[in-house]
Structure 1
Amino acid sequence: MDYMRKEFIALFWMIGTIICFCSMAICIRELSNNHSAFDIQFLRNTFCILILVIIYFSRKNISFSTKQLKYNLYRNFFHFLGQSGWTWGLTVLPLSTVFSIEFTMPIWASFIAIIFLKESINFQKTIFLIMGFIGTWIILSPNQSAINENAIIVLLASVSYAVAHNFTKTLTKTDKIISILFWMSILQLPLSLLGATIYGGLSVPHMNDLPIIVIFSVASLLAHLCLSNALKLGDATLVLPFDYIRLPVITALGWYLYNEKITTNIIIGSTLIIAAALTTLKTKQK
């Protein structure tokens, strides 16, 4: 396949990724009227398993086998923590705030690599990490006096996502994406059930919620599929920066659907975070 054509198709996959992640955020916000964050995750995992089982029996040569069960366990423990914090954040914070903090994940991934994997650090990388932390602080402390506790939860979720991301990279070397998605749903189902039980019990979904749950589950699966295909076809330096279009898109949706304000702190903080993350990515590609 021609190089330019592959890059063009990769960008279309990224558009699909953006649509899916934004759809997930809207679905979570809508479901939060009747369900807790753990409840929402339990419903998503249940429907994802049903969808994947249907795919398994309707197509040949589909396998959910894994060669790295241990890494699936590690990956899904941290991914569940990240997903829980992200879901909670979307129910109590402006959509743009949650997405801005989520974009600190590459920065945390670099920080984790430096501390635990003994990755080398230079002056340039130090400046980028400082930029990211300053941007995060601006978003976490909108009044410059007190830190938003809910935003801290989303920040910790971003750190968990960063840890899970490192395990995901290891899994993709041996396992297919559909296998990773299946084990994600299977392993996180009991965790979300436990969380929902502790937090107040499961809520029976209303009939009006069912279409939203289905859209949420399908979007969850497609988001991973779209991103995986985009990274297979396109250069990471082209594909991953394109993901930051999610921020203005979700900001516009939050303003239009929920009358959320666009604050100066979000604009300045997210600009610093994105600049730091993009430059960190560029440095890694050299």
Structure 2
Amino acid sequence: MTNTPTAEEQVPTRAKSASDPILMVHGLSFAYEGGSLVFDGVNFDLEAGHSFTILGPNGAGKSTLLGCLAAQLTPASGVIRVTGRSLRDMSSSAIARRIGFVPQNLAAVYGYRVADFVAMGRAPYISRFSMPSDDDYQRVAATLDDLGITHLANKSYTALSGGERQQVMLARVLVQDPRLILLDEPTSALDFGNQLKVVRIVRELTERGYAVIMTTHNPDHAIMLNDRVGILDREGALTVGDAQEVVTEETLSRVYRIPVRIVFVPEVNRRAALAPL
């Protein structure tokens, strides 16, 4: 068995230069069959070592946008390039070598052992009809240890809590060796402590050189990450910029249709988004 990618699907170990984005999105629009446009004219770039937090109200199209970036949905128009290559021109294996996707729905169907479930992330590097090698399982063990969840290795995935499933799914994505990680509302079903843990993990991933996109309903997550932000409104327009520029009282009040205040909280040394009851 060989885990060596073909020349066509080899992923460069780094971007061509420090300024070359991992992800380039230009003129992207999407509509479900028979429906109106969900979003239109979406443009943004994302470099290695940076996060991009997508905010917006329910139904704005955040998950749909992530589905397009993960090649699970086909845009009506526009171009998506990952490591310089058009997403539409890549095979599913080539996409999996570049993009790791953690969906919002983590419902368990089969009771796989966690180590085996994570090892499935090595599929893009394993030839058909072959099984994960010892080297693959060593990579799994190292990744579980890196995330501090080695104690889950022999548990059934169906027996895990929502927070544990999030971490295990992230481990499965990391063993893919992607350049870009997509997280669709990873904090939606988590308690406060686990939400903060996810934000810390995203920050650590960017420090390790990954490009990470996360959708969320909580403006404080974007404030804490303090990096690139996109706010998708009900009209399907994406406003993009740095957190300080985009996460403002005016923009949040308009998008969420409630009065929002941004205040500095000395006790935690950061800004926070607040709204009256």
Normalising by structure 2, report the TM-score: 0.28
Which structure carries more relative contact order (alpha carbon 8 Å, separation 6+)? 1
Point out the structure with the larger strand share: 2
Normalising by structure 1, report the TM-score: 0.28
Point out the structure with the larger helix share: 1
